[in-house]
Chains A and B, each alone.
Chain A
């Protein structure tokens, strides 16, 4: 049977939760985000998509849903909507992991860019259907562009600092089991 206390997986899940809490903490600091300033990139989304692309078993769908739902409540977004969109996007990526394994980084970056844009469009579409007020499209697009530009940085940091990489052919983990 699968050893549920497999330490690498749970260690990385704990690291993910810790990173999520750190990002919430940074967002909540009263450093005065004045209105009219450009929004920063959505680092939580970059982190989730980068990890799901490389090691999908580190982020099960309920964990992603829980973390993003907490972020929805803390960041005053309509709860549940962005969470559903993120879960659907990660399921899309997981299903296509076989096809995207051989992609070069530039192609993967392009795929992620298109995926983030589609997520934003779906989010805004549901807002329009539900007659909710929303900020201008250009304003929100700046955040998506920032996320796309910071995606390689997040991937590099995950690879170098946290060791999250795609499992190579025949790679074995610390106990000799194949990944």
Chain B
């Protein structure tokens, strides 16, 4: 047959219909498998991305650098103004540098005085953001550190200022961070001056809402929000952001991390966060009185006789 197949009757042959039907069933079975046994399929997905995407970084970096350069060119009116502004900034920076050096010396002295040690459980691995999923529906980024660098699922990721997200999905050379604004993200937090516990759940908007606040009157916009360490999910005390009142009159958190400029992320190693399962035996259930269980002791003969005569 020398005809190329374009006419519709060539696509309606029964065998082809059966094969395409079989293909659709296989795809739906894959979806059901994902729904039932999600970790297995997610591991496959992480392995697939691990093989494909890090090979792109030679191409991704020049493009992002070029876009960054275009952005910075567009933000200045002319080179002369830029030059003047930079000179002024340089003068200011020199003054700040002096102040910073003095503060650094003072800090070193005070640290020596206090013998302060930063919690060794919170060492970190720094990773570079390779790619993000690029869609407003899924908020996640891909890092260039993976299982071979010792990363594990569930560890927290911060940028220089505040908490950015958690590791969910690992390959050998890459790891995926689910951001706090993603719809599947739930973080236990504490609102700082009042000590209220709450849950920060993302909903694809820039300022995720606070849910399950015990007493909403004690929480005011401007309060600081940190992680509470509940349930051993994340280390405690990491800065998350500030409380704001959203336009829908809900308490939301303006995140301290700069989501528009995620470049380097620190993944905090937290090896043994033990969840507190019981109150430590402080309040024990009452032990049963051994005297009440078992045969009752026989009453003295005189009492039994008087009781029987009364009854």
Contacts and interface: CB of A to CB of B under 8 A. Distances in A.
Contacts, number: 161
B11 A81 contact: no
B204 A76 contact: no
A55 B53 CA distance: 31
B136 A33 contact: yes
Interface stretch (B23-31, B218-226, B293-301): B23-31
B60 interface: yes
A31 interface: yes
B135 A27 contact: yes
Interface in A129-164: 130, 132-133, 135, 139
Given A61-B23, A91-B20, A130 B35 contact: yes
B11 A32 contact: no
B31 A98 contact: no
Nearest to B140: A76
Interface string B164-190: 000000000000000001011000000
Given A88-B24, A178-B3, A74 B52 contact: yes
Contact of B134 (A29, A69, A87): A29
Contacts of B24: 84, 87-88
27 contacts: A28-B56, A28-B132, A28-B134, A32-B260, A32-B261, A32-B262, A33-B134, A33-B136, A36-B206, A61-B20, A69-B27, A76-B138, A76-B140, A78-B31, A80-B26, A80-B27, A84-B24, A84-B28, A87-B27, A91-B11, A91-B20, A126-B31, A130-B35, A133-B183, A133-B184, A178-B4, A179-B6
Interface of A: 1-2, 6, 9, 25-39, 55-57, 61-62, 65, 69-70, 73-76, 78-81, 83-84, 87-88, 91, 94-98, 126, 130, 132-133, 135, 139, 167, 173, 177-179
Given A32-B261, A75-B133, 10 more contacts: A1-B1, A27-B133, A28-B56, A30-B60, A33-B135, A76-B140, A83-B27, A97-B6, A135-B204, A177-B3
